[in-house]
């Protein structure tokens, strides 16, 4: 062990010695390679020239010191060795040295006189830096004053201006006949305000467009601006709200200031509920920044100042959360409800979105409009776009009904999971479940029409039955219609229990929908033995769980009665569904077997199946297949 320690010590010592030698070598090399310069006087230079010891001279005028710097080499000098001489700055001096060079035959190099380029150096070294600094300062202040500096414009409005109002016209807005009439007065006022002022009429300062998402509120506002052909400011309600308190209010002031310069004009605020929610709500007070912004908006719309010629159009799908001060006359004087389109309006909307698309002869937009109740304008546009994409994917030259059917299912339920493997037992269960829904819809008088049945999985569903209202009507339902909906929803579970011998989890969503309808009948619609009393309200506190809780104005005893009534409605509908399905056992199995074989059947096929017990299209296909098999068999026998 000691011997090993000695070896380590020797190695460490040798390493230090090597490092020291390397450092000493570097020092000696640097000192050896360092240039060696001798300083001569002018007389010594002349003496060496006379003795012909000078090999080379380089003369450089130095204007700052009024001298010549002469660098040269003598005979016997090493590579890094030279001498330097400073002589007075005069033409006679340099001429004398040049005369010596001609006689002594040594090399002389005379560099250019720097005085000719002195003014360039003065510009680059003195004037140019000052000019750059002054230019930068001027540019910065110019940007700040013009408002283009993004770091200084927190309080400036972010509303975008379209001077010509835009390209959208009323012809581009299908349907919405009454809604367009309501806003047409705004266009007349913007075009000829004197006509209204003559009779003392005051045009609404603000119009609030209310309706579900996708119904065309923003499109209608664009059409108003396009028809009026006036400057059109558009901004989202969320653009007013910032991290810094006071920025939103400043942006509101700046927006109205800019609008006054371009009056008459339109201001469109989309999703105004982002900034116009009720004040003083929530635990611990409201949001200071949002409330300050709302207060400024209220003041600008109808305060001490006048905003003549400025009309505000706002859109929201949550009018229930808006502050009452925002909705009073003088601010948003008029509310226009933009609701879901009816059959005729859906046909017109489909016609607008079908302009640049090519359809096959079997496609009827009128029939398609009847099959899409509850679709918004955005849904219809998406439906036709999905159909076009499917046609391209299938290498078709035109969009057919197959693509439209598939697109409808995609919009409602999502894409089909055709690659998913389904066992025969699962397929039978799903087919019986959907057949139960369908038979209730077919046999129950107040039930909705069955338009399509499929057992192809889509989204979270293993299959579904599309049921649509028999007639287009307002959003009003009778008690019998609501009970028929509950009975139809329970038909899937009843069919499983009766004809499959087991029950599954597939009816959970049906139960949720049925229970929701039954509870609303008891607590909101007064359709139970508790009488015409509203016990629960849909609207709750603005920020305290509006969508999660309902206002309950009843005791625990009444709560028990509500649960009893809900259970009673559900039990009665379950018994009715059981009776209908028992009486139509053959139809349940017929629909189930057809679904197992073909997976999807449409309304026309369902009607034919109910009336004749078969579908002619599939029967002809079977006959054709049987004929082909027979011909092949006969050909084979002849060959043998």
Please say whether the beta carbons of 386 and 424 come within 8 A.
no
Of the residues 271, 291, 403, 434, only one is catalytic, namely 434
Can you name the residues that pair with 26 across neighbouring β-strands? none
Give the 3-state secondary structure of residue 415: coil
For strand 107-110 and strand 160-162, is the pairing parallel, antiparallel, or unpaired? unpaired
C-alpha distances (whole Å) from 22 to each of 14, 29, 33, 410, 443 are: 12, 10, 16, 79, 105
| Structure-token pair, residue 29 | 């090399």
Residue 434 annotated as catalytic: yes
Helix (H), strand (E) counts: the chain:
22, 16
Tokens describing residue 425: 């037992």
- Phi/psi for 613 (5° steps) reads 85, 5
| Segment (H or E) for 161 | strand 160-162
SS3 540: coil
CA angle, 407 then 412 then 414, to 5°: 75
H or E segment and range at residue 4: helix 2-33
Secondary structure element (H or E) that encloses residue 189, with its range: helix 177-191
Distance CA 226, CA 629 (A): 66
Task: Give the C-alpha distances (Å, rounded to integers) separating 637 from 273, 290, 337, 423.
Answer: 80, 88, 75, 38
Assign residue 395 a region (left: φ > 0; alpha: ψ between -120 and 50; beta: otherwise): left
Do you know the residue count of the chain? 640
Strand partners, 461: 458
What is the rounded CA–CA span in Å between residue 119 and residue 115?
Answer: 8
Catalytic residues, which ones?
434
């Amino acid at each position: 062990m000691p011997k090993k320690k000695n070896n380590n010590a020797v190695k460490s010592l040798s390493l230090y010695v090597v490092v020291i030698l390397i450092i000493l070598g570097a020092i000696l090399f640097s000192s050896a390679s360092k240039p060696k310069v001798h300083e001569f006087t002018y007389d010594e230079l002349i003496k060496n020239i006379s003795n012909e010891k000078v090999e080379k001279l380089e003369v450089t005028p130095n204007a700052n010191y009024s001298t010549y710097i002469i660098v040269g080499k003598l005979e016997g000098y090493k590579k890094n060795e030279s001498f330097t001489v400073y002589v007075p700055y005069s033409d006679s001096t340099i001429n004398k040295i040049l005369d010596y060079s001609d006689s002594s035959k040594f090399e002389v190099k005379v560099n250019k006189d720097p005085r000719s380029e002195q003014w360039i150096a003065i510009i680059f070294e003195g004037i140019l830096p000052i000019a750059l600094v002054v230019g930068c300062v001027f540019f910065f202040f110019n940007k700040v004053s013009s408002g283009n500096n993004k770091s200084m414009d927190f309080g400036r409005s972010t509303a975008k201006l379209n001077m010509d109002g835009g390209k959208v016209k009323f012809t581009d807005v299908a349907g919405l006949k009454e809604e367009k009439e309501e806003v047409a007065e705004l266009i007349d006022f913007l075009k000829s305000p004197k006509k209204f002022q003559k009779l003392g009429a005051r045009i609404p300062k603000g119009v609030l467009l209310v309706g579900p998402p996708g119904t065309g509120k923003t499109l209608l506002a664009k059409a108003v601006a396009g028809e009026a052909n006036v400057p059109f400011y558009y901004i989202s309600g969320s653009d007013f709200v910032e991290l810094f308190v006071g920025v939103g209010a400043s942006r509101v002031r700046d927006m109205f200031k800019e609008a006054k310069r371009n009056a008459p004009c339109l201001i469109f605020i989309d999703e105004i509920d982002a900034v116009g929610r009720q004040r003083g709500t929530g635990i611990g007070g409201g949001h200071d920044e949002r409330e300050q912004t709302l207060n400024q908006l209220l003041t600008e719309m109808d305060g001490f100042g006048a905003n003549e010629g400025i009309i505000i159009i706002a859109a929201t799908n949550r009018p229930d959360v808006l502050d009452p001060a925002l909705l009073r006359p003088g601010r948003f004087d008029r509310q226009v409800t933009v609701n879901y389109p009816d059959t005729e309006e859906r046909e017109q909307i489909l016609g607008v979105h079908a302009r640049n698309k090519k359809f096959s002869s079997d496609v009827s937009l009128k029939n398609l409009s009847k099959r899409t109740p509850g679709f918004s304008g955005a849904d219809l546009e998406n439906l036709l776009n999905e159909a076009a994409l499917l046609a391209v994917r299938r290498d078709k030259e035109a969009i057919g009904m197959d693509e439209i059917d598939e697109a409808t299912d995609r919009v409602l339920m999502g894409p089909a999971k055709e690659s998913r493997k389904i066992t025969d037992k699962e397929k039978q269960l799903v087919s019986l479940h959907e057949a139960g829904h369908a038979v209730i819809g077919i046999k129950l008088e107040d039930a909705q029409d069955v338009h399509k049945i499929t057992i192809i999985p889509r989204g979270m569903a293993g299959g579904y039955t599309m049921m649509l209202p028999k007639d287009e009507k307002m959003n009003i339902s009778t008690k019998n219609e609501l009970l028929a909906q509950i009975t139809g929803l329970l038909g899937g579970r009843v069919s499983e229990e009766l004809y499959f011998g087991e029950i599954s989890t597939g009816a959970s969503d049906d139960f949720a929908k049925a229970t929701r309808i039954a509870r609303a009948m008891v607590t909101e619609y007064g359709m139970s033995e508790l009488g015409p009393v509203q016990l629960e309200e849909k609207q709750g506190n603005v920020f305290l769980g509006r969508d999660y809780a309902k206002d309950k104005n009843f005791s625990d005893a009444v709560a028990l009665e509500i649960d009893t009534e809900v259970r009673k409605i559900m039990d009665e509908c379950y018994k009715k569904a059981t009776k209908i399905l028992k009486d139509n056992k053959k139809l349940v199995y017929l629909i189930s077997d057809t679904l197992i074989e073909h997976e999807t059947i449409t309304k026309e096929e369902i009607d034919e199946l109910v009336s004749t017990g078969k579908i002619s299209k599939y029967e002809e296909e079977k006959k054709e297949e049987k004929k082909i098999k027979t011909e092949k068999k006969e050909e084979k026998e002849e060959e043998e």
